[in-house]
Amino acid sequence: MPANNNTPLLTIFLLFLGLLRFDSFPGLQAATGKLASVPGLYVFGDSLVDAGNNNYLPISISKSNYPHNGIDFPNKKPTGRFCNGKNAADAIAEKFGLPLPPPYLSLRGLLERETRKSAAVTGVNFASGGAGIFNGSDQKLGQAIPLSKQVNNWLSIHKDLSTQLGPSEAQAHLSKSLFTVVIGSNDLFDYFGSFKLRQQSNPQQYTQLMADKLKDQLKRIHDSDARRFLIIGVGQIGCTPGKRAKDSTIHECDEDANMWCSLYNDALVKMLQQLKQELQGSMTYTYFDNFKSLEDIISNPAPYGFADVTSACCGNGGELNADLPCLPLAKLCSDRSKYLFWDRYGHPTEAAARTIVDLMLSDDSHYSSPITLTQLVST
């Protein structure tokens, strides 16, 4: 249809360019989602939500950019996600109609300048496999990006966004965006495996230190205009295939490990309540009880669509297919949608990640407090 006389030719030209370069208009991508109240998604954490940052760490061996990882990702591509397909961060982005947040380290360099500008608006993934709240030995040896460094990387994106949109508009944009934090498991694994750490502090002291250290980092994120937080608790890491396989008779969960997870989650919940008070209500958050959600799925898997909630889908045989990690020559389960766990470490399959995200977005507040994620993004 020809343009009328009131339509400037420049507008038509810009619209034409927008059709050619759809990714240069992030708002168009976001418009397809169900919950358009979230303009950006910024992700911090560990391998549960890493989108490939560790691919760019030159000496890290904590990578998953090889088969069978990614076998169900578009084009069967191993992207660095510790999963057969998309992870929970991807599923959250899709629920809100946002592009999958790219790994921060993929946005460096002159050739990535335009991609970085677009991602700064719609969301970036800072997570790193093996990362912890503390700067543990893995991080010090260049194996992962600890949370404090992830926040440094976020501050770099925040600076870009403020320059791109202007300080006032950037502040308004970020106040409506969602900041997701999924971390803590590796700190607990470090505690289990370190006699020195267990000598220095008992489980209650250690988990309280975890919560206190996380509080410091959440404050830094908040001080850079973040207002809405999704904080995901630690799951039942005592029930991962690798932990169960150590009990070679009946494959029971490691209840000591689960107890320490509960101690940390309790400290985390109290810390979040205190932090909101300290910030005088300028921070809103939902805490998702990942421990309870996994406990319910494991105790009654059928309603969730799972047939196996103990074995690793991808592994090298042995007890629960959990003797070795998911390597290119690993034994792969035939129906990934029926398995809760992707590998011996307890990374969820794509089906499991989507199930957990559905529980996050449920109107039922059984797993979420003090409000649900749906209520959070509507505030």
Give the span between the Cα atoms of 218 and 150, in whole angstroms. Answer: 11
Catalytic residue among 90, 138, 225, 343: 343
Write the DSSP string, 131-157.
--SS--HHHHTTSS--HHHHHHHHHHH
Give the span between the Cα atoms of 154 and 31, in whole angstroms. Answer: 25
pLDDT at 318: 93
Burial class of residue 144 in the structure, from the number of CB atoms within 10 Å of its CB (0-12 exposed, 13-18 middle, 19+ buried): buried
Give the span between the Cα atoms of 240 and 232, in whole angstroms. Answer: 18
Q: How far is CA 133 from CA 42, 68, 147, 264, in A?
A: 17, 29, 5, 12
What sections of the chain are H helices per DSSP?
Answer: 9-20, 26-30, 88-95, 113-122, 137-140, 147-165, 167-176, 185-193, 195-200, 203-222, 241-245, 255-278, 290-299, 350-360, 373-378
Give the span between the Cα atoms of 65 and 171, in whole angstroms. Answer: 35
Structure token digits, residue 62? 């904590």
Pairing of strands 314-315, 331-332: antiparallel
Write the DSSP string, 68-131.
TTTTTSGGG---S-SSSS--HHHHHHHHTTPPPPPBGGGG-SGGGHHHHHHHHHH--B---TT-
Residues 6 or more apart whose Cβ sits within 8 Å of residue 110? none
pLDDT at 267: 98
Tell me the CB-side half-sphere exposure of residue 347, using CA atoms within 13 A: 29
Give the span between the Cα atoms of 319 and 75, in whole angstroms. Answer: 31
Catalytic residue among 68, 158, 173, 347: 347
Residue 166 CB coordination number (10 Å): 11
Give the span between the Cα atoms of 41 and 51, in whole angstroms. Answer: 13
The answer to whether 347 is a known catalytic residue is yes
Of 129, 160, 158, 163, nearest to 143 by C-alpha is 129
The answer to whether 222 is a known catalytic residue is no
Give the span between the Cα atoms of 325 and 314, in whole angstroms. Answer: 8
- Residue 332 has φ and ψ, to the nearest 5°, of -115, 135
pLDDT at 17: 30
pLDDT at 26: 30
pLDDT at 140: 63
Catalytic residue among 47, 293, 311, 368: 47
Mean pLDDT of residues grouped by 10 in the chain (379 residues)?
39 31 30 62 98 96 96 97 98 97 95 94 97 79 91 98 98 98 96 91 97 98 98 98 90 95 98 97 97 98 98 95 96 97 98 98 93 93
